[in-house]
């Protein structure tokens, strides 16, 4: 007998502000359960996660008025979980098959959206996502056993990865601890700090035609090296739309800002998140 699909059960505080609706589970790779109706989105995750939805709520508030992001409807907790409700933005995520019909246009839009984000004054941004912090978080995730070593990208850890950093190749089957040691040893000497999205993959940018409707899943937003975004965006485009779109993205963003060694480094760092 098949199990019934999970249903969204809202705490009282959110029931008061969200109308009755048919909710669809559209959970992706963020680690949270995501539900959407025609007008709203609700994210649900266990309390105590390293990346909390309360923090994401704070970052959405900061971004509002600076860039297009979902409007916050409410935040609540119960004994086990936390909930973040937002208005649903128009548009399709960039990895949607219909959006991928226009791969080069999407690459262009993504590059321009990131340039706009990266132009925000870092003196106004209160959120730290520096490499020192990311490596501490990576260490904590490794020690807590939160890294899925079976999900490591063999290509990223091999030919594209450490060979570009002059440290030889990481091999398939190496542990998260070994990957972390490589990252600490090969840490770039400098950081080109900007306000970053932190998880600049195609699913987190919504488009309608030639317009970026908004940025979502901003829990990792903060001041970091621009390659935190460039690396994940380039990889996401390569996987979903092909190498031509990925190279076009870097062309439009500006090759003068791109360090190929840092692209490889930050792609490998993401394997621990």
Q: Which of 232, 231, 219 is nearest to 257 (CA)?
A: 231
d(CA 269, CA 132): 12
Q: Is 217 left (phi over 0), alpha (psi -120 to 50) or beta?
A: left
The position carrying tokens 């959206």 is 113
Residue ranges with strand state E in 78-146: 81-87, 92-93
Q: Given the structure tokens 């990311």, which residue do they identify?
A: 134
Calculate Rg over the CA atoms of the chain: 19
The catalytically annotated residue of 78, 192, 199, 229 is: 199
Measured distance CA(232)–CA(267) in Å, rounded: 6
CB atoms within 10 A of CB 156: 18
Q: Is 108 annotated as a binding residue?
A: no
Is 217 annotated as ligand-binding?
Answer: yes
**193 token code pair:** 């700090």
Q: Is 199 a catalytic residue?
A: yes
User: Which DSSP string do the residues of 200-214 spell out, in sequence order?
Assistant: --GGGEEEETTEEEE
Binding residues for Mg(2+): 204, 217
Catalytic site positions: 199
Question: Binding-site residues, please?
Answer: 204, 217
């Amino acid at each position: 007998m098949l199990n019934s699909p999970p249903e969204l059960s809202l705490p009282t505080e959110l029931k008061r502000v969200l109308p009755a609706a048919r909710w669809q589970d559209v959970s992706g790779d963020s680690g949270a359960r995501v539900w959407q109706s025609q007008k709203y989105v609700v994210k649900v995750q266990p309390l105590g996660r390293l990346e909390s939805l309360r923090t994401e709520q704070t970052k959405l508030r900061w971004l509002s008025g600076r860039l297009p992001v979902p409007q916050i409807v409410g935040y609540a907790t119960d004994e086990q979980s936390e909930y973040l409700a937002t208005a649903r933005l128009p548009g399709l995520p960039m990895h949607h098959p219909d959006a991928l019909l226009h791969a080069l246009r999407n690459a262009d839009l993504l590059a321009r959206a990131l340039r706009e984000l990266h132009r925000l004054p870092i003196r106004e941004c209160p959120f730290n996502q520096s490499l020192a912090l990311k490596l501490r978080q990576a260490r904590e995730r490794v020690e807590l056993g939160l890294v899925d070593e079976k999900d490591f990208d063999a290509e990223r850890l091999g030919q594209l990865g450490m060979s570009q950093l002059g440290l030889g190749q990481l091999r398939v089957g190496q542990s998260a601890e070994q990957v972390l040691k490589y990252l600490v040893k090969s840490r770039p000497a400098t950081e080109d700090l900007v306000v970053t999205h932190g998880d600049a993959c195609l699913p987190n940018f919504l488009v309608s035609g030639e317009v970026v409707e908004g940025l979502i899943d901003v829990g990792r937003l903060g001041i970091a090296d621009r390659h935190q975004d460039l690396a994940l965006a380039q990889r996401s485009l390569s996987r979903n739309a092909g190498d031509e779109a990925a190279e076009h993205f870097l062309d439009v963003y500006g090759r003068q800002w791109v360090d190929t060694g840092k692209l490889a480094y930050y792609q490998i760092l993401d394997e621990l998140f």
